[in-house]
Structure 1
Amino acid sequence: MTTSTPCYWMHLGAGSFHRAHQAWYLHRLLQQGDESWHIALGNIRNDASALLAGLAKQNGQYTLETVTPEGERAWETITSIKKVLPWDEDLTALIEQGTDKNTKVIAFTVTEGGYYLDTDHQLDPRHPDIQADLSGDARTIYGALARILRQRVAQHGAPVTLLSCDNLRHNGERFRHGFLTFLQLSGQTELHEWVSANTTSPNTMVDRITPRPTADIATRVLAETGVNDAVPVMGEAFIQWVIEDDFINGRPALEKVDVEMVTSVLPWEEAKIRILNASHSCIAWAGTLIGQSYIHESTQTEAIKQLAWEYVTQDVIPSLTPSPLDLAAYRDVVLSRFGNPYIQDTNQRVAADGLSKIPGFITPTLTECYARGDEPRATAVLPALFFLFLQRWHRGELPYEYQDGAMDVDALHRMMASDDALTQFTTDETLFGPLAQDARFSDLLRTTVQDMDAWVTAHQPS
């Protein structure tokens, strides 16, 4: 249905993934003649200003290039971003848009580390960014939303859905718990009560491999379409979105564009996080350690692909069975997607944020293997690879800058410089939860690190 005054889907997080995923779905609704929902796009931090400026010059439009594993490319002009919200220190444009009564959904992509949760999935109030926001700053999703929603309550108090679109298990629930905890800690009692009663936070599962844009995308776009696009984006042809249907103040008719609206995302979420996300990291860390730059290159290296295959087959599939999904088939589709040579996704991008990915993507499988009486030998390879990766980082031997939103650089360097670095790593409760005190796990990881160190040496290019 078309309305004269459109509703707004305000999105916080102006990265490539939003523009290749959520914006594409809403664009498809526009193509069907449903003009009732528009996107307003902004960023919490001042690290996307050039992109936002480029989008603004193009009236929010840009080209999305997709490519199949067989190399078939397609180009599409995405038109769903109707407002580009410029950044300033006071978040003026974000507050104005979030306060608009027609803004009925506030969605966000802030990466796994952007939720500042510990291994018990509780908000970590000790983190410097959270400390700053508790004092009134707006560095995080919590501080930014508190500013936006305080003004919304003051003006009219219309309900709004707060929608996480990140690869975080139970993302809606865990964001919501973190946000309500933040509001309690900051003494915002009235806002806490309002958020509890006037917002919902559905869990979601999102999927499309979206590498950081490179210069050759714009060149191809110009050659194929004749459009001189300053801010194109590229992703794989595969796409999926599963959302719990719990919107408090209306939503787009997403089911008309193949979004799966469900009661619970749990089976899809667990399969995606453990099979896709964890394997992705495994391949990136292993590939980096033997001198490779690209995900497809590493996936096509049989010894690396075998590590990921064994991890999923030996440990993950038994942990997730029974499942409504064909987990073995999903594993094979995922590895095929990773091997797509046309995506040119980098090990650097996928290797990032390991300190959040270990507890979020990998530790649950370790824990469940022990619970059913199995030793998680295949899964232990992943944290072992990450430890070796951190060793190279500490020594300045990585071929790129490692980015990790949960990293205290000085503390991590101190740990890796110590004589008992592996012991400290293995007994870190923020990474491994109760397993940090489990001698079986400590012994397994120590042995696995030794084995993988030898594996890396054996697979170095001659």
Structure 2
Amino acid sequence: MTTAQDTLTILHLGLGSFHRAHQAVYLHELHALGDTRWVLAGGNLRPDMPETIAALQAQGGAYTLETVSAQGERRYTWIESIRTVVSHTPDLAGLIEIAVRPSTRIISFTVTEAGYYLDSRHQLDWAAAPDLQADLQALRDGRAGSTLYGALTTLLRARMQAGAGALTLLNCDNLRHNGDRSRGGLLQFVRALGDDALAAWIEAHTTSPNAMVDRITPRPTPEVAARVLTATGRTDPAALMGESFIQWVIEDRFANGRPDWARVGAELVESVAPYEEAKIRLLNATHSCIAWAGTLVGYRFIHEGTHDPAIRQLAYDYVTDDTIPVLSPSPLDLAAYRDVVLERFGNPAIEDTNQRVAMDGFSKIPGFIAPTVRERLARGESIASVAVLPALFLAYLQRWHAGQIPYTYQDQAMDPAAAHAICEAADPVAAFAADPVLWGELAGDPRLVQGLRAASEKVAGFVAQHASGRAG
């Protein structure tokens, strides 16, 4: 029996839906096997989700997770692995108090791609990130930071001063090489602050394993809470829903211990790279393809676009023609992975919205799609199928520019003025292809322009065909 004195803690930054449907579930399942040595504590870096945070605190950190299989089977689980929910304060005092405990051995976090503030060369993009500049000033003034790097600097500086020992910084998100890149960004930030002692401590006393995570987790809706009440009799304002599929692949490089996650299905590996590439390019990029295409023809949900034969074919061709060839050979059966992904996206019970998946295109093009374009061109091969995805986003962006997207588009990495300028250009395709945020060193490449031009004509025909079909 584990006593309170023996308990080890993972401090998680960002108590959003994905963390609670993924990492918290693995630890919950370990507890169910009798291994209760590790628990979760968590809080947000900004004052968002106040209602959810309050509900979690009222329930002692517990909440209901509804999972739905591709066949429509629903299950309900009361998740109890989060034991401490920290209220947000600008000084991050509650998070610091946990971070400086020797029993806290892992700090994990879930952020979006744009939350890393990295350019195509993995350098902090100071010019485009006033939040980072503000955090530097805050830390110089003795205040806490609110970006990932500012907050980690605040927490790790306090831990170093407390002599609390080594710990692991664990990413739980979709950024490629996420451990390496977040570590690089953090050290750049700390050195820009001029804290060489902290930089040296981070290098000596922390590790940052790369990891790959996967589970479709839509934003919770009132319907989820209603189903939970009907099925369990429990009124749970913190209830959420995810698909039944779940995956976690982690490089086994931990500085000061870890839970025995392999007992409950996580894969601990030497290198996460091939799993990461398959997931980012075959799943994440395909997801964006379906969201952008679905929005263009008037669908609201991902499953609607997935079941549309024309949209499904665009996604299938992208993976089959251009992506599988550059990822082969792979330890995964990539064709089977492609088919499983499309089956998952077609699950109508998930009701994942195009709005959620379509966001952050200015991060997703360079992160999910440009690598395949770059590798195909380097091999002297066609980009006809992969170019359809950025062409879909350009068409989507032009709708946004015209005020014709039926929901609010969110994009942390987008400069709205620059995006409007692309759409207003005499040659929007050329302007889009020349954008360095989207394309890095490929920006303006004549082969890219030519491929996008042909793909844009294909997208225009696809949209027109749908419009005439509906009119008929």
State the TM-score, normalizing by the size of structure 2.
0.96
Q: CA deviation at 1:110?
A: 0.9
Cα root mean square deviation, aligned: 1.2
Find the partner of 1:202 among 203, 206, 209: 209
Q: Distance in 1 between matches of 2:263 and 2:386?
A: 39
Most deviating of 129-138 and 206-215: 129-138
Q: Distance in 1 between matches of 2:417 and 2:54?
A: 34
- Answer whether contact 2:111 2:173 (CA < 8 A) is retained: yes
1:334 corresponds to: 341
1:414 corresponds to: 421
1:13-412 maps to which residues of 2 (within 5 A)?
Answer: 13-126=14-127, 127-136=129-138, 138-412=145-419
Q: CA deviation at 1:434?
A: 2.3
* Partner SS for 1:459: helix
Q: CA deviation at 1:55?
A: 0.4
Q: CA deviation at 1:367?
A: 0.7
Q: Deviations over 1:283-305 (max 9, x none)?
A: 00000010100000110001000
Q: CA deviation at 1:157?
A: 4.1
2:435 corresponds to: 428
Most deviating of 437-446 and 189-198: 437-446
Q: Distance in 2 between matches of 1:451 and 1:297?
A: 21
* Partner SS for 1:66: strand
Q: Which amino acid aligns with 2:293?
A: A
Q: Deviations over 1:409-441 (max 9, x none)?
A: 233233433334332210112211222131111
Q: Distance in 2 between matches of 1:41 and 1:318?
A: 41
Most deviating of 395-404 and 93-102: 93-102
Q: Distance in 1 between matches of 2:350 and 2:137?
A: 42
Structure 1: runs of 5 or more not aligned: none
* Partner SS for 1:213: coil
* Partner SS for 1:135: helix
Q: Which amino acid aligns with 1:156?
A: G
Q: Which amino acid aligns with 2:459?
A: M
Q: Distance in 2 between matches of 1:403 and 1:74?
A: 32
Identical counterparts, % of pairs: 56
Q: Which amino acid aligns with 1:131?
A: Q
Q: Distance in 2 between matches of 1:339 and 1:86?
A: 37
Q: Distance in 2 between matches of 1:91 and 1:50?
A: 19
- Answer whether contact 1:132 1:139 (CA < 8 A) is retained: no
Q: Distance in 1 between matches of 2:409 and 2:369?
A: 20
Q: Which amino acid aligns with 1:83?
A: T
- Answer whether contact 2:429 2:449 (CA < 8 A) is retained: no
- Answer whether contact 2:430 2:444 (CA < 8 A) is retained: no
2:2 corresponds to: 2
State the TM-score, normalizing by the size of structure 1.
0.98
Q: Which amino acid aligns with 2:324?
A: I
Aligned residue pair count:
462
Q: CA deviation at 1:98?
A: 1.3
Q: Which amino acid aligns with 1:40?
A: A
